[in-house]
Amino acid sequence: MSKALINKTSTNESPINEASNSSGNGLSNKQIQQVLLTLLLGGTVVSFSNSALNPAIPVFMSVFDVDIVMGGWVLNAYVLAMSVGLMLSGYLNKKFPFKHVYLSAIFGFMLGSVIGMLAYSMSFVIIARAIQGLSGGLIIPLSIGMLYQIYPQQQHGRVMALWGIVIMMSLAFGPLVGAYLVEQFAWWTLFAITLPLSVAVMAMVWRLIPDMRSYDKKSPFDIIGFVSLLTWLLAMMVWLSTLKIDFTGGLFSSEGLLKIATLGLLSVGFLLSAMVWWAYERRQRHPLLNVRLFRNKTYLHSNIISISQTVGLMLCLLLLPVLIQDVMGESALWTGVVLMVATLVASITTHYAGKMVDKQGARGIGIVGIAISALSTLMLAWCLYQPTLWLLMLIMSMRGVGVGLAYLPTTTVGFSSLPKDSVTEGAALNNISRRIISTIFITLSTLYIGSRSAQLLAAGSSDGMASAIQEILVVIAVILLFTIPSACKLPRSP
């Protein structure tokens, strides 16, 4: 994040200038700029590290001789541990000063980077990603909550657009830098590259960020809610990781029907236990996650949209490197280029969408964005018949436009509909919902792709992996289309 970009936002029309005059936070314009720069840099560390590792998933699979299911745990471990961090963020934000929690989270991220550098097996890589995910789960909601505290509501669209641009720029250049490091050096440099930036963020937090928020030391921790949700998550992930999707004997054979019945009963069991936990949390005065926020219809529908967009985005981040490097036989650098171009397009779109949502609301923008996301996902599935790099780049850029229009504007409107002191809880609830559901989809998708491609190859097909990925992309497109009614429920005007 350059100083010029920060200064550029300090005009009379910028959110920074108006926040210092009307938000009542007591911070000077200079302090607001320092807080903004620090939070943006902290978010950059998390986003850059995550995106830089995505093109390397096939490399990890090759170096440590594991399959796509184990390779997917590089992403799943991060997402699952991030869910734990999100569970804790609301409580820690009330219990301890912002600065102390944020410093601890950045230090934890650094620790994960060191463990990743020294990893000698896939298990240690996964542990390193889990530690980074736990820290990232604290950093993101704390940052968003602070931004909503220091800016007035009429500026939330623009300040979140600025946040989105910086994060997306990190996501854009992460794959390219990560691919270059893997090609020219070694996989462990993917962890090492974030260390200097993490040290810089810690120094900035220590020196530049004051204790800007009051905190409630008497706020109790919902230990029952935490332990029960964590147990549910671990049990579900262990079950999914051992699940075998194999209907080679026939879907309607006695063996196939038994497998379907077992899968259905276990799924219903997990669903019912989740509903019991949800009912318990709704009755708590100090819940682990404030699920009562979903009573706000604007917030509820914005979450439905953001969850579906995240599922599509995470699956594309996982499947695209596999497609380009394993199916097409291209280098990791091309994966980085395709992802970089797509994310740059998304960041530019987000910039203009942030301005539009402050003036026009999110309904129209959301509907158009969802439609473009779904259409481009179908086009991506279609192009796999004869995939070429330029066509992938074009379709992923189109998908970037859809994500830029549908994701951030609708999420911003959802957060803005909440009281300011509930935004951190809202951000945590939003993030953990997205992470848990996307983790389930990623795990099921990798299991399906592994078994389906093996089945197609056994049947004599030469492109079993591409066909399996194609089927998953069609499912994603259908899911996206089903969220258009939620966009229609968003407010017409800001």
The predicted-structure confidence for 370-413, as pLDDT tens digits, reads as follows 999 999 999 988 887 777 888 888 998 898 899 888 887 788 88
Element (H, E) at 252: none
Q: How far apart are CA 45 and CA 35, in angstroms?
A: 16
Looking at residue 254, its pLDDT comes to 55
Distances (CA, A) of 349 to 44, 47, 158, 336: 19, 18, 13, 20
User: So what's the pLDDT on residue 17?
Assistant: 45
User: Is the per-residue pLDDT at 11 higher than 50?
Assistant: no
Helices (H), 361-488: 363-383, 389-416, 423-458, 464-481, 484-488
Q: What average pLDDT does the structure give for the chain?
A: 78
Q: Is residue 277 part of a domain?
A: yes
Residue 87 scores a pLDDT above 60: yes
> What torsion do the CA atoms of 391, 394, 396, 398 make, to the nearest 10 degrees?
-140
Residue 311 and residue 274 in one domain? no
Q: Which of 33-42, 161-170, 404-413, 438-447 has the lowest mean pLDDT?
A: 161-170
- Residue 2, pLDDT above cutoff 50: no
If one counts the domains in the chain, the total is 2
For residues 223 and 314, the model is more confident at 223
Mean pLDDT throughout 44-59?
78
pLDDT score of 131: 92
Mean pLDDT over 156-180 rounds to 75
Assess if residue 18 is contained within a domain: no
Residue by residue, DSSP assigns 92-154 as HHHHS-HHHHHHHHHHHHHHHHHHHHT--SHHHHHHHHHHHHHHHHHHHHHHHHHHHHHS-GG
Predicted local distance difference test score (pLDDT) of residue 483? 92
Q: Of 234, 260, 287, which residue is a domain's last?
A: 287
In a shared domain, residues 192 and 307: yes
Identify whether 87 is part of a domain.
Answer: yes
Do residue 460 and residue 363 come from a single domain?
Answer: yes
Residue 358 above 60 pLDDT? Answer: yes
Using pLDDT thresholds of 50, 70 and 90, give the confidence band for residue 255. Answer: low
Tell me whether residue 1 is in a domain: no
In a shared domain, residues 303 and 243: no
Structural domain ending residue among the three candidates 287, 305, 340 = 287
In a domain, residue 20? The reply is no
Residue 485 is predicted with a pLDDT of 92
Q: Quote the pTM value.
A: 0.70
Residues 399 and 443 in one domain: yes
Determine what percent of the chain is predicted with pLDDT higher than 90. 9
| Shared-domain flag, residues 381 and 265 | no
Q: Are 379 and 276 in the same domain?
A: no
Domain endpoint, select from 287, 305, 322: 287
Residues 366 and 413 in one domain: yes
In a domain, 262, yes or no: yes
Q: What is the pLDDT of residue 481?
A: 93
Asked whether residue 378 falls in the same domain as residue 354, the answer is yes
Are the CB atoms for 332 and 321 separated by under 8 Å? Answer: yes
Highest mean pLDDT among 181-195, 202-216, 250-264: 181-195
Question: Is the same domain home to 356 and 332?
Answer: yes
Decide which of 469 and 264 is more confident.
Answer: 469
CB 42, CB 139: distance < 8 Å? yes
Mean pLDDT, to the nearest integer, of 211-222? 65
Residue-level pLDDT at 305: 92
**pLDDT at res. 19:** 44
349 and 360 housed in the same domain? yes
Q: Are residues 313 and 345 in the same domain?
A: yes
Establish if 317 belongs to a structural domain: yes
Mean pLDDT confidence for 45-69: 77
Q: Between 19 and 103, whose confidence is greater?
A: 103
Residue that the structure tokens 């549910």 belong to: 232
Structural domain that includes position 39: 25-213+288-488
- pLDDT for the residue 371: 93
The confidence score (pLDDT) of residue 325 equals 76
CA dihedral sign of residues 382, 387, 391, 397:
positive
Task: Give the pLDDT confidence score for residue 1 in this predicted structure.
Answer: 43
The helix (H) or strand (E) run that includes residue 362 is none
pLDDT bucket at 52, cuts 50 / 70 / 90: confident
| pLDDT tens readout for residues 196-214 | 989 998 888 888 777 655 5
User: CATH number for the domain including 453?
Assistant: 1.20.1250.20
Examine residue 232 and state whether it is found in any structural domain, yes or no: yes
Q: How confident is the model over 115-160, as pLDDT tens digits?
A: 988 888 888 888 999 999 899 888 888 887 787 777 766 666 677 7
Identify the pLDDT of residue 54: 65
